[in-house]
Amino acid sequence: MVRETGIPKGARVRRTSSCKLSNKLSSVPPPDLVVEAGLTSSSLDKLPIYAGLGVAEVWRYAGGRPDILGLRDEVYERMAQSRFLPPLTSEDLILFVEEGLRRERPEWVREVRRWARSRGSRSDAD
């Protein structure tokens, strides 16, 4: 016999699925950084999801606007530059995204590596 809870059946199924997913994710450490380049708008605000997972930094480019966001007290705040790649600013992020749309990937990657090296960051060889 199924007890009536007033919750639609589909909602109960989704809840069960998300609990199973949540249990699996609890054994995996969160990424330090998420890069989100949304060239179209999304109705889903992913920041609360990232915060719940403990993602320390989010680079977001949406609608021509770059944001570098850092997690502090379970809330994301805009930052002038990245903690993971300290020379990176929002202005640099704009240039990288725009260049990435215009150039072939190998050429773009080489240019980003040159940029990182010029600022003293370590990167892999071409």
Instruction: Please identify which residue in the block is written with the tokens 């993971």.
Output: 84
Whether 16 is covered by a domain: the verdict is: no
Question: How many domains is the chain partitioned into structurally?
Answer: 1
Q: Is the model more confident about 4 or about 93?
A: 93
In a domain, 41, yes or no: yes
In the chain, the amino acid numbered 20 is K
pTM: 0.64
Predicted local distance difference test score (pLDDT) of residue 20: 53
Q: Are 59 and 35 in contact (CB under 8 A)?
A: yes
- The reply to whether 78 falls in a domain is yes
Cβ atoms within 10 A of the Cβ of 97, count? 16
Instruction: Say what the pLDDT of residue 23 is.
Output: 59
Examine residue 97 and state whether it is found in any structural domain, yes or no.
Answer: yes
Question: Does a structural domain hold residue 105?
Answer: yes
β-bridge partners, 63: none
Inside any domain, residue 124: no
Q: What pLDDT score does 72 carry?
A: 92
- In this prediction, residues 111-116 reach a mean pLDDT of 89
How confident is the model over 34-68, as pLDDT tens digits? 988 775 666 678 899 999 999 999 998 877 788 99
- Is residue 109 domain-resident? yes
For the segment 5-25, the average pLDDT, to the nearest whole number, is 46
pLDDT of 69 strictly over 70: yes
Identify whether 126 is part of a domain: no
Q: Which domain holds residue 102?
A: 28-118
Q: What is the pLDDT of residues 71-107, one digit of tens each?
A: 999 899 999 999 988 888 988 888 888 888 899 999 9
Q: Collapsing DSSP states into helix, strand and coil, what is residue 89?
A: strand
Q: CA-to-CA distance for 81 and 37, rounded, in angstroms?
A: 17
